[in-house]
Amino acid sequence: MTRIWILLLSLCMNSCHSQEWSYSGETGPANWHKMYPTCGGENQSPISILTTEAEEMAMLNFTWTGFGDDPPNGASMTLSNLGTTVQVNFTGDYLISGGGLTNTYKATMLHFHWDENGVHGSEHTLDEVRYPIEMHLVGYDFEKYDDFDSALSHPEGIIVVATFLEITSEDNPNYSEMFTGFNSVTYKGQSYQYPSPFPILPMLPYNTWDFYRYHGSLTTPACDEGVLWTVFVQYQQISHDQFSNFNTLMSNFEGEENVPLSNNYRPVQPLNGRSVYRRIDGELAFSKSTEFRINTWMTCVAVVLYYWTTSL
Ligand SMILES: *[C@@H]1O[C@H](CO)[C@@H](O)[C@H](O)[C@H]1NC(C)=O
Ligand SMILES: *[C@@H]1O[C@H](CO)[C@@H](O)[C@H](O)[C@H]1NC(C)=O
Ligand SMILES: *[C@@H]1O[C@H](CO)[C@@H](O)[C@H](O)[C@H]1NC(C)=O
């Protein structure tokens, strides 16, 4: 009798603790849509970006407020092991504008996708290259919504800014501070508050004016759509030593059997006719309504030209 109770208890502990979704097997990406229907939607991320297929679009440069050496007033940063990724949450007005965005966005977190060998863990592919690591800086429309959750799944409510990372022999000093927290978040549910916020801008590529832009989704369940994506062309670098910090992370709670946290990237999703844009220098703001206005305007010009030439 006692044995049965122990069996039931351990079954419960397994299922009560097991994640609702994962990166492999029955709860893996191929089956996410069964529990989270939006994951089977038409506008999903990540995608394969092909330079030859991208349309050029004029946009302003990004403006990064609070991302440099002087952090926003009262800013703080906390590192968390979420079991599916390692994430830095921020508080404070980290604001992103320009870059073809219609409104100002407030960044609230950054997290990573990688593979255990540090070879091909990125989510997007660029000209069929899969990079070792992809970093996502995530923000919400700060002018329209009160917080991240209320902005979710609204058109352009959320932005994700993606940076690819390569692995080299040289330490990247601009990532050193972030990695100091990793040994405090080995297990799922653990978190670590940094003594002071570190600058985020130097972790992005130097060139933040050359990027791809498209409409997609979150790359983890519930895969909410309405996400406006930025994928930088230039990549950043960290060293092998720095990468080894990722391999200390576990996807389980402390005291459970260790399951390394890695290979947390979703396969690329069908484009389904969506446009992918590459920024060129200019002043146009990017949005569906802008596209519409330009199309309408060009149609008018064409019609006028047509009647003018045929009436000659
Ligand atoms: C964007 O930044 C680049 C690099 O600094 C610069 O060459 C370009 O003139 C800037 N474009 C605009 C529209 O400000
Ligand atoms: C960081 O944000 C995530 C949601 O994205 C949340 O689950 C987690 O608890 C947060 N971490 C801390 C320490 O607040
Ligand atoms: C690190 O940041 C400094 C200051 O922002 C910058 O000059 C340097 O190029 C950055 N290094 C890398 C590898 O990005």
Single out the residue of 303, 309, 99 nearest to residue 212, CA to CA. Answer: 99
Q: Are 243 and 234 in contact (CB under 8 A)?
A: no
Angle formed at CA 153 by CA 296 and CA 199, multiple of 5 degrees: 100
Q: How far is the CA of 281 from the centre of ligand 1 (A)?
A: 7
Amino acid at residue number 1 = M
Nearest-angstrom CA–CA distance, 259 and 261: 6
* Residue 7 located in a structural domain: no
* Residue 210 located in a structural domain: yes
Q: For 87-108, write each residue's pLDDT tens digit.
A: 999 999 999 999 999 999 999 9
* Residue 17 located in a structural domain: no
Report which ligand 2 atom has the smallest distance to the Cα of 82.
Answer: 7
Q: Are 98 and 147 in contact (CB under 8 A)?
A: no
- Tally of structural domains, the chain: 1
Which CATH number is 252's domain given? 3.10.200.10
158 alpha carbon, closest ligand = 2
Instruction: For the chain, give the mean pLDDT.
Output: 90
Nearest-angstrom CA–CA distance, 305 and 247: 63
pLDDT in the model for residue 20: 87
Nearest-angstrom CA–CA distance, 293 and 179: 46
Summary count for the chain: helices (H), strands (E): 6, 15
Single out the residue of 264, 260, 208 nearest to residue 87, CA to CA. Answer: 264
Span of 19-28, 83-92, 137-146, 172-181 with lowest mean pLDDT = 19-28
Q: Please list every protein residue whose CB sits less than 6 Å from any atom of ligand 3.
A: 172, 174, 202, 206
Take atom 4 of ligand 3 and give the residue whose Cα is closest: 202
* pLDDT more than 70, % of the chain: 85
pLDDT in the model for residue 117: 97
Q: Are 167 and 192 in contact (CB under 8 A)?
A: no
CB count in 10 Å sphere of residue 223: 26
* Residue 16 located in a structural domain: no
Q: How far is the CA of 238 from the centre of ligand 3 (A)?
A: 12
Single out the residue of 222, 95, 235 nearest to residue 165, CA to CA. Answer: 235
pLDDT in the model for residue 16: 44
| Torsion angle, alpha carbons of 189, 190, 194, 197, to 10 | -20
Domain with 281, as residue range(s), is 22-304
* Residue 123 located in a structural domain: yes
* Residue 118 located in a structural domain: yes
Take atom 1 of ligand 2 and give the residue whose Cα is closest: 89
Take atom 2 of ligand 2 and give the residue whose Cα is closest: 89
Angle formed at CA 250 by CA 246 and CA 253, multiple of 5 degrees: 150
pLDDT in the model for residue 286: 55
